[in-house]
Chains A and B, each alone.
Chain A
Amino acid sequence: MTTATLNDERRIRRISFSHKLARWDVRISPYLYISPFFILFAIVGLFPLLYTAYVSVHQWHLIGGEGDFVGLDNFFFVLQQPQFWIALRNTFSIFLFSAIPQVGFALVIAAVLNENLRAKTFWRMGVLLPYIVAPVAVTLIFSNMFGDQYGLVNNALHTIGIPPIQWHSQELPSHIAIATMVNFRWTGYTALILLAGMQAISRDMYEAASIDGASKVRQFFSITIPQLRPTLIFVIVTSTIGGLQIFDEPRLYDQFGQGGANSQWMTITIYLYNLGWGQLNFGRAAAVAWLLFLIIVLIGLLNLAITRRIAASSDVPAERKIKKAKVAA
């Protein structure tokens, strides 16, 4: 390089320019490579978030548009509505009914799929099948099946002598019915993510554990679950966010889509929708949106802390076990 600088000025310049470029490249390129995400996020994530905050402190009509600045009045109004608290209760109830069984079933399914099965790909694709079905179609079919008087489920219950369950008019049954739709759609998907996590676990551990005489069940609890920690955290956090934002299923669960006559299955997002599009009051709807956002952040953090602790505490015996296994080997 030095000889070239001495011999030819043009070359020198070109080299020094490309030198500069190379330096910029090193410095700036990484940011450029990741910038599309952040630019997109700013447009479709950050801007709506801040704009919603702006709307939430104003009187705002869906068609009439911006009105007076009202400070936190919209928030106070919403927090004083019993409907808001009912919606919060429903959301959590549906979320618990869907998230807990879903992760549980998915773990079991993933563990089974992780074994040496014949026609592996067939089974793995099979569990993903419900995920491909459009949520609207799932909901229409399920809400028909869960009809109070002439639904398939109640007819089946009737034939085995169980009195019909009021799937729409009572709170708990309606939550279970909606959670069933969510689970139907998402369990397979979650199972595949967990399966991917399981496949990354070193086979050596299982081998060592087998030599140690650990049963399959013992291996599952002492190796698989602790090793799945990052995947489990991911699954639980995403299913929490999804669960708290649940909309399609409750919206299509009856003919009016407002969460039932007594708000039996009105979730926060349905309440938001009723305020914004039913009453055309965007200010209040935006306040609900922000409250929901804060709740999700809060639950997300809580979730993370709990999951960490659980996974960390169950880590200890597993590590000991592995050490032992290694010593034995």
Chain B
Amino acid sequence: MSTSRRTIAAAVAGAAALALVATGCASGGDAGAGADEKITLTLATFNDFGYTDDLLAQYEALHPNITIVHNKAATSNDARDNFFTKLGAGSGLADVEAIEVDWLAEMMQYSDKLTDLSGSDVDGRWVDWKTAAATDADGRLVGYGTDIGPEAVCYRSDLFAAAGLPSDPDGVAALLDGDWDNYYAVGQKYVDATGKPWFDSAGATYQGVVNQIENAYEKNDGTVIATENPDIKAAFTSVLEASSTLSAHLGQWSDDWTAGLANGSFATMLCPGWMLGVISGNAPDISDWNVANVFPGGGGNWGGSYLTVPAQGKHTDAAREFAAWLTAPEQQLQAFTAAGTFPSQVATYTDPTLLDATNEYFNNAPVGQILIDRSQAITVAPFKSVHYFPINDALQKALTRVDVDKSQSIEDSWNQWIADVKALG
């Protein structure tokens, strides 16, 4: 008998192991949270949205039943990979997911996997183009605008002074007022005087240039024109030619680049509002960063994000409410104060909090007024469709090969990019 009992025991153990495996994959689906039910909302962002623990604690105080868990990805690329993987898998996304404007168009193809967020409470909250981009063909609004990225120029006043250039914000603004060639020419003067690099990387500078081109890689009907577009070839070549003498050859977001923010390895960089937080966060001990109310070639918008509520979430209603609260003008102003993420909410543009905002780190620069001016200088709304992100990503690699790696000539790198774009199809 004892042997048969062992047989049964073995069978039971085997079955139990199987059951464990089977249940391991299934998640406890529990829909419909009551008002008092304890729930946890997850929020996924990248870089720095300015959503401080304090800000999130305010929401928890208003809603005692809700706990917020905030996950930050390092770069927008990481966030994108994660977003699409889990959107495809149908589970695993946070309740509120941040997405970037560069891959918004890719995501809009799957807008049916996201919750419709429209409602009278949020009508007219954002600048029109911001909302229009996140509204699908059926009129469903799938993303709440957070920030936009009007660009100014950040500079190191000590390095400017050492080079004999004007170092006060107005003087620098006057100095850099003009087109990109002027920006490079002043840079050449700086390099001649000091022997040190002028800007951080070709990649970042190109990003400023390309965001002033209306149809960079695609025509409005979606046809890919990237490799034939003379504007792109000109931008690519001119940025790289300038970089050969002016660039610090640091790959943006690399460890070297972050170190460069603090150790004065370059004098200027293009500065969308959200970049202010990146600089002050990575170079907390430097007191000489400043920001000038100017941008080469007029105005430009770089980046800016949205909050979405994936339909796969368990608490979509609570998540919508949370996303609406986070993107309300009052909260966005707090985020702006924390990280410099310039609001896309129209009500804020007349708000004294924004108008009078100064940034202590940037020597009390009137960043609110500067960024409002910079956003008004934007004349071009670049067309970004489904191919934008992969093509631009490949182009950034092409720039890196020449500028950072120095492993290819401008022409070789351009040709490889053409091959890369073909391979995307």
What is the interface of chain A, defined by CB distance below 8 A to chain B?
Answer: 18, 21-22, 24-25, 28-29, 32-33, 35-36, 39-40, 43-44, 62-63, 65, 81-83, 143-144, 147-151, 166, 168-170, 254-258, 260-262, 264, 277-280
In the docked arrangement, what's the CA distance between A238 and B13, Å?
Answer: 30
Once A36-B17, A150-B259 are accepted as A-B contacts, the answer to whether A261 and B398 lie under 8 Å apart by CB is yes
Question: Does B251 reach chain A (CB closer than 8 Å)?
Answer: yes
Return chain A residues, CB-CB under 8 Å to B109.
63
Interface residue total, chain B, C-beta cutoff 8 A: 53
Within the complex, which residue of B13, B75, B408 is in contact with A256, where a contact is CB–CB below 8 Å?
Answer: B75
Within the complex, which residue of A62, A147, A170, A264 is in contact with B84, where a contact is CB–CB below 8 Å?
Answer: A62
Docked-complex contact A36 and B14, CB < 8 angstroms: yes
In the docked arrangement, what's the CA distance between A82 and B415, Å?
Answer: 14
Docked-complex contact B405 and A262, CB < 8 angstroms: yes
Pick 27 A–B contacts, CB within 8 A, sort by A: A25-B6, A25-B7, A28-B7, A29-B6, A29-B7, A32-B7, A36-B18, A39-B18, A43-B21, A62-B84, A63-B109, A147-B259, A149-B260, A149-B265, A150-B255, A150-B263, A151-B255, A168-B405, A255-B251, A255-B253, A255-B255, A256-B75, A256-B77, A258-B397, A260-B405, A262-B408, A279-B390
Docked-complex contact B256 and A150, CB < 8 angstroms: yes
Docked-complex contact A261 and B400, CB < 8 angstroms: yes
Within the complex, which residue of B84, B251, B254 is in contact with A277, where a contact is CB–CB below 8 Å?
Answer: B84
Docked-complex contact B3 and A149, CB < 8 angstroms: no
A-B contact count (CB 8 A): 124
In the docked arrangement, what's the CA distance between A144 and B254, Å?
Answer: 9
Question: Does B87 reach chain A (CB closer than 8 Å)?
Answer: yes
Q: Give min CB distance, B265 to chain A, whole Å.
A: 8
Q: Name which residue of chain B comes closest to A276, CB basis.
A: B85
| B253, B400, B408, B419, most chain A CB atoms within 10 A | B400
Return chain B residues, CB-CB under 8 Å to A24.
7
Return chain A residues, CB-CB under 8 Å to B10.
29, 32-33
Return chain B residues, CB-CB under 8 Å to A32.
7, 10-11, 14
Q: Name which residue of chain A comes closest to B389, CB basis.
A: A278
| A82, A144, A254, A262, most chain B CB atoms within 10 A | A262
Q: Give min CB distance, B82 to chain A, whole Å.
A: 9
Docked-complex contact B14 and A255, CB < 8 angstroms: no
Which 10 residue pairs of A and B lie closest in terms of their CB atoms, listed nearest first? A169-B405, A261-B400, A21-B4, A261-B397, A63-B88, A255-B253, A150-B259, A62-B88, A149-B256, A261-B401
Binary flags per residue of B1-35, CB closer than 8 Å to A gives 1, else 0 = 10110110011011001100100000000000000
Within the complex, which residue of B81, B84, B393, B405 is in contact with A166, where a contact is CB–CB below 8 Å?
Answer: B405
Return chain B residues, CB-CB under 8 Å to A149.
249-250, 256, 259-260, 265
Which residues in chain B, 394-425, are within 8 Å of chain A measured between CB atoms? 396-401, 404-408, 416, 419, 423-424
Q: Name which residue of chain A comes closest to B263, CB basis.
A: A150
Q: Name which residue of chain A comes closest to B253, CB basis.
A: A255
Once A18-B1, A255-B75, A261-B400 are accepted as A-B contacts, the answer to whether A40 and B21 lie under 8 Å apart by CB is yes
Question: Does B325 reach chain A (CB closer than 8 Å)?
Answer: no
Return chain A residues, CB-CB under 8 Å to B253.
255-256
Once A256-B75, A277-B81 are accepted as A-B contacts, the answer to whether A22 and B87 lie under 8 Å apart by CB is no
Return chain A residues, CB-CB under 8 Å to B250.
149
Question: Does B78 reach chain A (CB closer than 8 Å)?
Answer: yes
Q: Give min CB distance, A50 to chain B, whole Å.
A: 18
Q: Give min CB distance, A156 to chain B, whole Å.
A: 16
